């Protein structure tokens, strides 16, 4: 047995006690947070100005409209097309039989109304050349894995959406859907030089630009979000100082948890809008995301977001700036995302189908590596794994 469950059970019990205590604290602080939400709506311009001038330690969204705004569900079109993409990957293994990685993008194209139908497919891409395996930054080669591979996958998912939208010959409204955030946050803080960061970001943004040029709205859906950007905005509002400069005002108070906004700690955004409450189908106010890479590099595609009562949960929906500023496009995203959740028993149906086509199971991985091994053996190339991998497979004392 790899886990010492008897030792672990003590830690799990401790975790349960801390989770229960945190939940009780959140419940006590929610009414106070809602009061702040409503009070801040009285002067949204002053709040926006304070956010712009502040330098908080935490992420704080930029308000676009009063924080307590609630928008009813628009009527969904009877005829529309939902195109969704999702992806998975097989990471490179330097101990394996060959150095390579696989990106598998699942696509779902669902047509509703007259002449309904569905197109489901996966698009695998095996990367094995030096140019694909490595990125060069600050005169060093970096193997594409982990967060860098996640960015590569995001680019592939967006490009697949664009290609599918281009191939559409249909007069119905189209909405493209992705899972997760539109902000490539994993490119920040990893020691990557600006030129490489710009190149990778531009690859992603080119897909968003193609959709903008075609007038096809894009939205990303985040189930059970753990974001705290609205909470961060409330921290700025309740800050007793004219400018929320944490480093100058509260540096010595934060370690002891005695700073003026400490009572907001751990209060997730979705809990605030659940308590507002947002009714099923309603969406919250619109916000500009605080992601640095979005604010600095996304231009017309800066990430905006709202919260949606999808029926079974409060979800976060992100859209590019041009969608956020086009009320008709925003309403269509709102209506179609909710309709997709209704059809998908709480989660967008198109995204569920795309995920099913994207997922690479354990059996798929084993078959993939066996195929690689047999192919290399057929060319006379040695496929011996590293000694470390051999030792994992054949344990002895």
- Name all domains of the chain by residue range, CATH numbers in brackets: 33-74+222-350 (no CATH), 80-221+355-367 (3.30.420)
pLDDT of residue 59: 92
pLDDT band at 45 (very low <50, low <70, confident <90, very high): very high
Burial of 395 (0-12, 13-18, 19+ CB in 10 A): exposed
Report pLDDT digits (tens) over 97-148: 889 999 999 999 999 998 899 999 999 999 999 999 998 877 788 898 988 8
Beta bridge partners of 63: 287
Report pLDDT digits (tens) over 11-34: 999 999 999 988 888 889 999 999
Nearest to 207 by CA among 271, 171, 160, 265: 160
**% of the chain beyond a pLDDT of 70:** 94
Instruction: Tell me the CA distances in angstroms from 397 to 3, 309, 386, 391, 394, one per residue in order.
Output: 20, 57, 20, 11, 10
pLDDT band at 199 (very low <50, low <70, confident <90, very high): confident
Radius of gyration of the chain (CA): 24
Report how far apart the first and last C-alpha atoms of the chain are (Å, whole number).
17
Instruction: Tell me the CA distances in angstroms from 333 to 121, 168, 180, 323, one per residue in order.
Output: 24, 18, 16, 9
Q: Does the pLDDT value for residue 222 go beyond 60?
A: yes
Instruction: Supply angle C-alpha 262, 224, 29, rounded to 5.
Output: 25
Q: Does the pLDDT value for residue 396 go beyond 60?
A: no
Q: Does the pLDDT value for residue 231 go beyond 80?
A: yes
pLDDT of residue 25: 84
Q: Does the pLDDT value for residue 205 go beyond 90?
A: yes
Q: What is the mean pLDDT of residues 334-340?
A: 98
Report the distance separating Cα 355 and Cα 149, nearest Å.
18
Q: Comparing 94-98, 251-255, 366-370, which segment has the lowest mean pLDDT?
A: 251-255
Report the distance separating Cα 396 and Cα 391, nearest Å.
9
Report pLDDT digits (tens) over 167-193: 888 889 999 999 999 998 766 655 566
Nearest to 99 by CA among 362, 380, 364, 383: 383
Q: What is the mean pLDDT of residues 257-274?
A: 90
Top pLDDT among 292 and 73 is at 73
Structure tokens at 76: 């969904």
**% of the chain beyond a pLDDT of 90:** 67
pLDDT band at 384 (very low <50, low <70, confident <90, very high): low
pLDDT of residue 393: 55
Instruction: Tell me the CA distances in angstroms from 388 to 316, 376, 384, one per residue in order.
Output: 43, 21, 11
Average pLDDT, the chain: 90
């Amino acid at each position: 047995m790899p886990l010492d469950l008897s030792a672990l059970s003590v830690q799990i019990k401790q975790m349960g006690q801390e989770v229960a205590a945190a939940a009780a604290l959140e419940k006590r602080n929610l009414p106070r947070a809602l009061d702040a939400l409503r009070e801040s709506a009285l002067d949204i311009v002053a709040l926006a100005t304070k956010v712009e001038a502040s330098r908080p330690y935490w992420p704080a969204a930029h308000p676009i409209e009063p924080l307590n705004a609630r928008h009813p569900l628009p009527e969904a079109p009877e005829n529309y097309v939902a195109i969704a993409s999702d992806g998975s990957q097989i990471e490179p293994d330097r101990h394996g039989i060959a150095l390579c990685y696989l990106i598998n993008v699942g696509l779902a194209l669902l047509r509703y109304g007259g002449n309904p139908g569905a197109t489901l497919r996966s698009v695998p891409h095996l990367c094995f050349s030096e140019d694909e395996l490595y990125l060069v930054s600050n005169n060093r080669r970096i193997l594409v894995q982990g967060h860098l591979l996640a960015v590569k996958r995001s680019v592939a998912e967006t490009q697949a959406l664009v290609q599918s939208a281009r191939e559409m010959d249909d007069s119905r409204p189209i909405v493209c859907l992705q899972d997760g955030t539109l902000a490539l946050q994993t490119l920040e803080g990893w020691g990557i030089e600006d030129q490489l960061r710009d190149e990778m970001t531009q690859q992603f943004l080119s897909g968003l630009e193609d959709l903008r040029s075609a007038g096809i709205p894009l939205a990303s859906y985040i189930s059970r979000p753990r974001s705290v950007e609205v909470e961060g905005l409330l921290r700025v509002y309740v800050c007793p100082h004219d400018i929320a400069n944490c480093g100058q005002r509260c540096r010595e108070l934060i370690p002891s948890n005695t700073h003026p906004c400490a009572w907001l700690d751990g209060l997730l955004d979705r809990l605030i809008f659940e308590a507002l409450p947002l009714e099923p189908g309603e969406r919250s106010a619109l916000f500009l995301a605080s992601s640095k890479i979005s604010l600095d590099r996304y231009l017309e595609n800066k990430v905006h977001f709202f919260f949606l009562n999808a029926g079974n949960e409060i979800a976060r929906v992100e859209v590019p700036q041009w969608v956020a500023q086009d009320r008709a496009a925003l309403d269509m995203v709102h209506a179609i995302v909710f309709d997709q959740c209704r059809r998908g028993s709480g989660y967008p149906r198109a995204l569920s189908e795309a995920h099913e086509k994207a997922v690479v199971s354990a059996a798929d991985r084993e078959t993939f590596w066996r195929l690689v091994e047999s192919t290399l053996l057929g060319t006379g190339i040695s496929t011996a794994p590293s000694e470390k991998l051999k030792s994992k497979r054949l344990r002895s004392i």
